[in-house]
Amino acid sequence: MHQPPISGMASLSKCVRLLLVEDDAAFAKIIGTAISRKATFKVELSTVADLQQSLAVFSRKPFEIEEPKYDVVLLDLSLPDSQGLDTLIQMRNNCLGTPIIVLTGSDDEALAMSALKHGAQDYLVKGDIDGRSLCRAIQYAIEREKIIAEREDFVATLTHDLKTPLQGANRILGLFVKGDLGAITGDQAELLRRLSESNDTLLEMIANLLEVYRYEKDLHTIKFTRTNLIDLVQKCINEVDHLARDRFIDIRQEVDGDHISIMADEQSIFRVMRNLLDNALKFTPKGGVVTVGLAQNEKVQLSVSDTGPGIPEEDQRYLFERFYRGANGRGYSRSTGLGLYLCRQIVNHHNGTIKVDRNQNAGSIFLLEFPRV
């Protein structure tokens, strides 16, 4: 008999595509049966047994833009090839825009609550799951994801509208500092210069927020062209050179080759470089060194290293997570909590990799790899 809609929730009109990531075949069969009996909406259920298979489902060809393959992921956190929060984090990073419902054992509710803080939409205790509660969780997850998307659309629009008055204020401040609007004292010029730098910081935060939105919601605006990384690195270094000189920091280049190119959205790769250089300069002490390396073998390698205090291992694990704050507040270009998260999003979309390690002598080194062209 056809089941009536769950109270308080309208039945979904479209076919809901579910991915179940579960290594226990018997439990996977129970889930499938429970959904088929109680769902008031059409369902397509696919099942994989480990994390690597699930990540392969969401993989895409380089530079390809696709609609989400599934509407909801049902994820067991304890899999043969991954355990705990790392399972959720890797899945979430590969299925942006797709809500995840965590399946957990009865003794893992503390872990499940942590999963909610790291982006899961909901969690269900395996021993308590029935068809009705499962279908309700699926519907709620889809509706919540829609609300989150609408909220992010609003924030992106509002953020974009903040750019114009800040840019206008900076132009006026620049005229004051130059004396074009009348004579001012040296102290006044210094205060206006600091105010202009503060506005520049706000503009950089806005740019990061908009770029995150672009890579999560507006991928059609990304355009890939053959990009000369040597020229791009030099352009970025030129932009931050005055900051380095003010802090008595030496920026060095180690470039192995005359022409090193990748297929890239130039604006985005420039933002990655700027974020990494901003962080390196921020955490390098007076008299220190920041080094930008560029080379190519089977892949193109780009690196940014510093002689700062380094990043503790416990922070490295989640350093590229959205809004993650390390013990020392490290990991944020312009203090938004989005700088390194954005870097990873951009690099991943360029079919590349990014990781952090300790420098040979001191400090940290960020290592990026991209396909050659």
pLDDT confidence of 139, banded at 50, 70, 90?
very high
Please check whether residue 59 lies inside any domain of the structure: yes
Q: What pLDDT, on the 0 to 100 scale, is given for residue 46?
A: 94
Give the mean pLDDT of 95-114.
83
Is 284 contained in some domain?
yes
pLDDT at 171 over 80: yes
Domains in the chain: how many in total?
3
pLDDT at 234: 94
What would the 3-class secondary structure string for 270-314 be? HHHHHHHHHHHHHHCCCCCEEEEEEEECCEEEEEEECCCCCCCHH
251 and 193 housed in the same domain: no
pTM: 0.61
Residues 6 or more apart whose CB falls under 8 angstroms from that of 93 comprise 344, 348
Same domain, 82 and 185: no
Asked if residues 281 and 246 have their Cβ atoms less than 8 Å apart, the reply is no
**Would you list the DSSP string of 329-371?**
S-S-GGGSS-HHHHHHHHHHHTT-EEEEEE-SSSSEEEEEEEE
Of 13-17, 24-28, 80-84, which range is least confident?
Answer: 13-17
Are 71 and 161 in a shared domain?
no
Asked if 357 and 226 sit in the same domain, the reply is yes
Please say which residue of 190, 219, 248 terminates a domain: 219
Do 245 and 187 lie in a common domain?
no
The token duo for 152 is 């992010």
* Residue 124 belongs to some domain of the structure: yes
Choose one of 187, 219, 251: the last residue of a domain: 219
Q: Domain containing 252 — which CATH number?
A: 3.30.565.10
Residues 240 and 326 in one domain: yes
**Do 267 and 163 reside in the same domain of the chain?**
no
Q: Do 211 and 244 belong together in one domain?
A: no
Whether 1 is in a domain gets the answer: no
User: Which of residues 219, 242, 268 is at a domain's end?
Assistant: 219
Q: Are residues 172 and 240 in the same domain?
A: no
pLDDT band at 60 (very low <50, low <70, confident <90, very high): low
Provide the mean pLDDT of the chain: 83
28 — pLDDT class (breaks 50, 70, 90) = very high
On whether residue 138 sits in a domain, the answer given is yes
CB 302 within 8 A of CB 229: yes
Q: Is 10 among the domain residues?
A: no
Q: Which amino acid is it at 13?
A: S
Report the pLDDT averaged over residues 294-306. Answer: 94
The single residue listed with the structure tokens 């790899």 is 369
CATH of residue 57's domain is: 3.40.50.2300
DSSP annotation of 179 reads T
The whole-angstrom separation of Cα 290 and Cα 338 is 22
Least confident segment among 59-68, 88-97, 150-159, 222-231: 59-68
| Same domain flag for 298 and 253 | yes
Q: Is residue 2 part of a domain?
A: no
Query: What is the domain extent for residue 128?
Result: 16-147
Same domain, 79 and 160: no
Strand partners, 366: 304, 356
In this structure, are residues 295 and 272 in contact, taking their beta carbons and an 8 Å threshold?
A: no
